[in-house]
Structure 1
């Protein structure tokens, strides 16, 4: 992801420079990828006393894990009906409980490591852009009955009192979900891994691997790691390192922009500290950051990244179309990044061969699923559980290559058109 330098460099707290791997070393487990999935895996293994090495091509959190919208909430990129169709009704329930556990895991990690710089803020509100209070109430009832999970229903009057836009009708607030500064969270987790004896190498892209036999080897330009277990957590940046993984997901670009400091102007439109997401496929999501001084706004997906100027213009049209009162709010930064989507829109978590694990394709849905994915892989490596097998129905199926990218783009445009007609009817 293109680094939004000004905001993130000014707000991140750990500026530690980590070494480049330049020798041959040995460990129990080598993790390829220093994003949330990889660092969570490494953290849990280090907590259990394993010797762990993390290889990161750039710097900790360089990819989507460090520069996303910061939403931590239950759920996946696809809906419960699709999950149940592939995993069965009980499997779907267990998988959704894992996504709730992922939220708790991130929250507990922030508390345990005292990561004040994550600036965790409770509350995420999902809003409808068409009038359908029945569906919102039904979803809240289902979450209460199936999981004991309470959501707060907001009618149109309440929603428009805090989100001063005619675009919105009803909403559901999740008081247990939260939003945060993802890069500061990741950097604190990395510090804890190192405190526990784990080794992290930055600027150390994995270039080749030998995965046969009991001892695996992962090579970089200047060094090698020998280990009994290898975990690939590289997401949309996998490249040719692991062909099976690369063929099993589509790299999809998403976009985020950040406003200038204008707290009074922003408050004239948005009178809540909750993070907000609308109901459209790849719809808008946004939240106040920097103590309420700035607005971070994200959305849109494409099969290839656009220029920062083009994406900023697109996101601004979305923002001012929703909140005309923000037409004078200037954009300071805009960036794009690659996520990984599987054809079935579910995470790909498991052991592809003895001692070779993967944890990827989280489809841009918040930070909880990457965290729980890393936790499950660590449990599998340690022999603590086989809960990772819940994701067996969502395997490493071929994503379609260039044809898959074309289909994904056409599908997105179709969904956009459906959203437009539905909102027009409202």
Structure 2
């Protein structure tokens, strides 16, 4: 078993190496961070004719944007009741509609740019690990009533006909959600940005900034960018460049593993092309890739980086606990990525000072919410809308530093214990 790289990087369709910034350049907007939020912002600005520069410390999609499970589905990491409690019922409704719009935005972008390498596969099933089908029926009815969004309820027999496990009871299938190859999606967006005249510099970490004047300056080891506006989209890899931003969220690691090729064995456990996620906090999520030849499995979170090999062992134990028939399925790769979580578990989107924008803290939200965040920032910069202000209640509040990390880890362990007790009762 080896852990040299991610599956997504090994299966990239675009191996273009982009230049390192050298010397001074000027543009309308400079974007710090080449993940999904930053690239979506750049794409929308370039489509509107703006001169755009993207600075990426590593390579396009290096962070969690290009290493995640590839799920594209509506919703947020926290519940609608908590969102409404902070922002009000109508704002909560508008925000959820944005998450649905984000799914369509990603789908439309794949179609418009003919991103064959994204390999979108429709269908996502969320399953319960305890017996409470009524709660799922109520949720499906509420989604239909409030948003005209259809979810298919699956009873225990239907769930177990495709997921051969006694650990699962009821489920909700979302036929409009989908899963895809996130890194190929990101790199295709990068190609389109460059086709439209945008410039992307890899290996170009931002080291200094001057944000006080009308002209903003971002410096790297080899050059600098002058712009009228700056957008920070650095997520879990944010350094000390912008202290206010760095203090406002916690970097959280998540883990993914990929199985060997074993289609016949995998079919004894999983007989669906849907992506699967369970109801637990930071629970399991998985999907078949390469036409069912391999199983990609993710889950677990830690507040400090852990060995992918050790975490892969934990993920394997979880997988085998659900599907004992997969005990001989070998792991080929395992990797991790850093996400950013705010204390309120919602994205942080807005203008922190004139000409300085932020779009971050998308940990656990899915590719759609990250994409719609970038679209909202671009709309704000272009004067097309002020929809980004819907996220004003979820600001850049201090995340607690090292104490916040400790609290986050303790909270995760508490939730794990609650999950265990609820499932044991079932």
TM-score normalised over the length of structure 2: 0.99
Distance 2:101 2:242 in 1: 29
Distance 1:3 1:144 in 2: 43
Distance 1:385 1:296 in 2: 38
Matches within 5 A, 1:263-412: 263-412=263-412
SS in 2 for 1:189: helix
Distance 2:121 2:93 in 1: 27
Partner of 2:31: 31
Partner of 1:118: 118
Distance 1:234 1:41 in 2: 13
Distance 2:199 2:297 in 1: 35
Distance 2:364 2:92 in 1: 19
Show CA shifts across 1:23-75 (max 9, x none): 10000000000000000000000000000000000000000000100000000
Query: Deviation at 1:239?
Result: 1.1
SS in 2 for 1:5: coil
- Contact 1:3/1:62 (8 A) holds in 2: no
Distance 1:9 1:294 in 2: 16
SS in 1 for 2:213: coil
SS in 1 for 2:395: coil
Partner of 2:206: 206
Q: Does the alignment pair 1:148 with 2:148?
A: yes
- Contact 2:5/2:335 (8 A) holds in 1: no
Give unmatched runs, 5+ long, in structure 1.
Answer: none
Give unmatched runs, 5+ long, in structure 2.
Answer: none
Distance 1:5 1:395 in 2: 35
In angstroms, what is the RMSD of aligned CA positions?
A: 1.0
Distance 1:240 1:4 in 2: 28
Query: Deviation at 1:4?
Result: 5.6
State how many pairs are aligned.
425
- Contact 2:165/2:323 (8 A) holds in 1: yes
Show CA shifts across 1:331-370 (max 9, x none): 0111111100000000000000000000000122210110
SS in 1 for 2:339: strand
Partner of 2:72: 72
SS in 1 for 2:189: helix
Show CA shifts across 1:229-267 (max 9, x none): 000000000110110010000001111000000000001
Partner of 1:98: 98
SS in 2 for 1:161: helix
TM-score normalised over the length of structure 1: 0.99
Partner of 2:179: 179
Distance 1:213 1:188 in 2: 34
